[in-house]
Structure 1
Amino acid sequence: MNKQLIQSGMTLIEVLVTVLIVSVGLLGLASLQATSIKEGMDTSKRSQGLWMIDELASRMRVNTAGLANGYTGAGTVAALCTGGAVTQCNAGNECTGNEMARFDVWQVICGANAGPGVVASSNDNINITDYSITCDAAPCDATSNFTISINWVAKAVQDAASSSATYNEDDEQNITMTIRP
């Protein structure tokens, strides 16, 4: 009888060890899945950032009249997106090259404001914290090199950070591209 009791006790211990090993494995898989989703979001943001830089580069190639200071003087994200009005350049409103350049930057960086909770542009997806367009030599023209840079807060960093809206510079991701229009 003791032998049978010991054997059933060993079977119970084997089952508990098996359950423990399977539980640890499943927790590892769940953690891997969560990390994969966060990294996928960051990859999506990087793709959006590349699209935005490519869009700005294409617009700069078309609007050579705005290269002198329209693109480089557009302002910060806060001033551009929440500040003063940007001249709407369309068929009904003639614009100078510099006005068109500022409108191009506003349209790509700020996008259309469709209201809270509505995703209407790349900026809604990427959460841009800063951008810059610089020229390597004055006067800026079609033979100059322009450097376009976009910064945003990574999804993984937002989840790990406190609930405050401020982030350290180390928490940002960046894409920089140098072009010649």
Structure 2
Amino acid sequence: MIKHSEQQGFTLIEVLIAFVILSFGLLGAVALQAKAKQASFDALQRSAAIALGNDILQRMRANDSSGFAGLYNGEFSSQSSAGATQPCFNAACSAQQIAAFDKQQWIRAIKARENTGTLDDATVCINSTPVAAGNANEFNIQVVISWQGRQEFSASEENSDVDCGTANDSRRLVVLDSYIYLRS
């Protein structure tokens, strides 16, 4: 005599439900990994931008002679020509020659960062202004680094007010404000 159970196939349904739950969990883990990779790349870009900004600020501090005001001001991009200037490693150079050499080296650094994929389509704006009218020894320095990000985001109103590079929804920027006191 064969006895038939009314619960035939119940374990198969349990296995299918467990498989669906496991699939959703794995898909969530893959999505989390993709977001973590994007965040890691964004952090790499910001680190590179801050390193470049600090580099030019230190170059400016090293060239703190009279006539400093407009030597570094301007907008540079990764498409700018680095040009050829007199190397100032072993030669005596004027403040203007040192500034031209610093900008040339810095444009090359921006291009090198772009070639590694770190900063795509980078634009840099430098603005030095005297702290007070008639005071030629104290300057506020603002260095803005703007680059093309890989994903779109909504810029804050403060970021929209910064004018450096072409504005769009995937531009990233870092603003470094500093102060320089020139030797007398």
TM-score normalised according to structure 1 size:
0.74
Cα deviation digits, residues 122-143 of structure 1 (max 9, x gap): 3432224311001234789540
Cα deviation digits, residues 71-97 of structure 1 (max 9, x gap): 104x431563xx361414233555431
1:146 aligns with 2:141: yes
Q: 1:79 to 1:23 in 2, by over 3 A?
A: closer
The AA in structure 1 aligned to 2:52 is M
- Listed as ranges, the matches of 1:31-110 within 5 Å are 31-65=31-65, 67-73=68-74, 75-77=75-77, 80=80, 83=81, 85-91=83-89, 94-110=92-108
| Structure label with greater radius of gyration | 2
Residue number in structure 1 paired with 2:125: 132
Task: Return 49-58 or 100-109, whichever deviates more.
Answer: 100-109
| Count of aligned positions | 161
Gapped regions of structure 2 (runs ≥ 5): 153-165
TM-score normalised according to structure 2 size:
0.73
Q: 1:177 to 1:112 in 2, by over 3 A?
A: closer
Cα deviation digits, residues 131-177 of structure 1 (max 9, x gap): 100123478954010100101122345xxxxxxxxx86221111101
Cα deviation digits, residues 84-131 of structure 1 (max 9, x gap): 614142335554312322321332243287xxxxxxx43432224311
Q: Higher strand fraction: Structure 1 or Structure 2?
A: 2
- 1:68 offset after TM fit, Å? 2.1
Take 2:89 and 2:37, find their aligned partners in 1: how far apart are those partners?
A: 43
Q: Higher helix fraction: Structure 1 or Structure 2?
A: 1
